[in-house]
Amino acid sequence: MVAKSRAKTGADDDGPWQPAPVPATSDLSEVEEAAKICTACHLYKRGTQTVFGEGPRRAKLLMLGEQPGDQEDLAGKPFVGPAGKLLDRALEETGIDRSEVYVTNTVKHFKWEPRGKRRIHQKPNSREIAACRPWMEAELRLVKPKVLVCLGSTAAQAIFGASFRVTRQRGVVLSSEFAARVVATVHPSSLLRQPDEEARAREYALFVADLKVAAKATAA
């Protein structure tokens, strides 16, 4: 396995940056193969492996997160950790079948820093997001979802630009060059960080309401 044999230095921003080398193909699995050996930014040295999107190639609904977390990095699959479990619960409650959704991330490697024995999530910076962007654009171009759901500000700003604020523009149907209908909402991990049960329940209900907007837009 290519990624596992690489050194994990944890070093930041080392060396020149290249845009990710996306092959000119309409076959998403060929794009995924190329992404597995991407070295466009330094994050490949830190993550275990590239975590590419998964789901039906012709999915009507595409969900875009920020970057794989600790468990996703180990499993090689997006949204399988605590945030993913919460997303699964919310999707079920919304009546969306996850197996019909293409799920991916803005950045395909886990960015983390060590704290004791734990690997703590770090937000990707604008250069890392830019280096990884061609993979996201290829997924959006090839899946061509009817509806794109941006989970959190990293995803929403990758689609709408840095001035986009999820707090102000969540839960409404917008449009972009990547999908005719786009709904932005919070990242499910933000629900896990709520200070108490009451806040968690309130934020979860708002999250489900946003997903219902996306479900309705998908069915329309």
Taking CB under 6 A as the criterion, the residue among 47, 53, 84, 134 binding ligand URA is 84
For ligand URA, what does the binding mask look like between residues 97 and 116, x meaning CB under 6 A? --------x-----------
The DSSP letter of residue 40 is: S
Which range binds ligand URA by CB under 6 A, 79-87, 89-97, 169-177, 196-204?
Answer: 79-87
Pairing mode, if any, of strands 112-115 and 118-121? antiparallel
Instruction: Please give the biggest Cα pair distance in the chain.
Output: 49
Sign of CA dihedral 99, 103, 109, 111: negative
Nearer to ligand URA, 84 or 134 (CB): 84
Cα–Cα distances in Å, from 144 out to 53, 121, 180? Answer: 14, 30, 9
Best CA proximity match to 186, nearest among 163, 173, 169: 169
Q: Contact 71/156 with Cβ under 8 angstroms?
A: no
The minimum distance between CB 112 and ligand URA, in angstroms, equals 12
Residue 83 near ligand URA by CB under 6 A: yes
User: Which residue shows structure tokens 């399988």?
Assistant: 80
Footprint of ligand URA on 10-49 (CB under 6 A)? none
Q: Which stretch binds ligand URA (CB under 6 A): 7-15, 78-86, 131-139, 175-183?
A: 78-86
* Least separation in angstroms between CB 213 and ligand URA: 20
Tell me: does residue 67 bind ligand URA (CB under 6 A). yes
When binding is defined by CB under 6 A, the residue of 78, 124, 134, 145 that contacts ligand URA is 78
Q: What three-state secondary structure class fits 174?
A: strand
Positive/negative CA dihedral, 191, 192, 193, 195: positive
Shortest separation between residue 23's beta carbon and ligand URA, angstroms? 23
Residue closer to ligand URA by CB (options 72, 128) is 72
Contact between 69 and ligand URA by CB under 6 A: the answer reads yes
The DSSP call for residue 45 is G
Instruction: State the distance between the two ends of the chain, measured CA to CA, in whole angstroms.
Output: 43
Only segment of 23-31, 71-79, 128-136, 204-212 that touches ligand URA (CB under 6 A):
71-79
Would you tell me which residues interact with ligand URA (CB under 6 A)?
Answer: 65-69, 72, 78-79, 81, 83-84, 105, 189
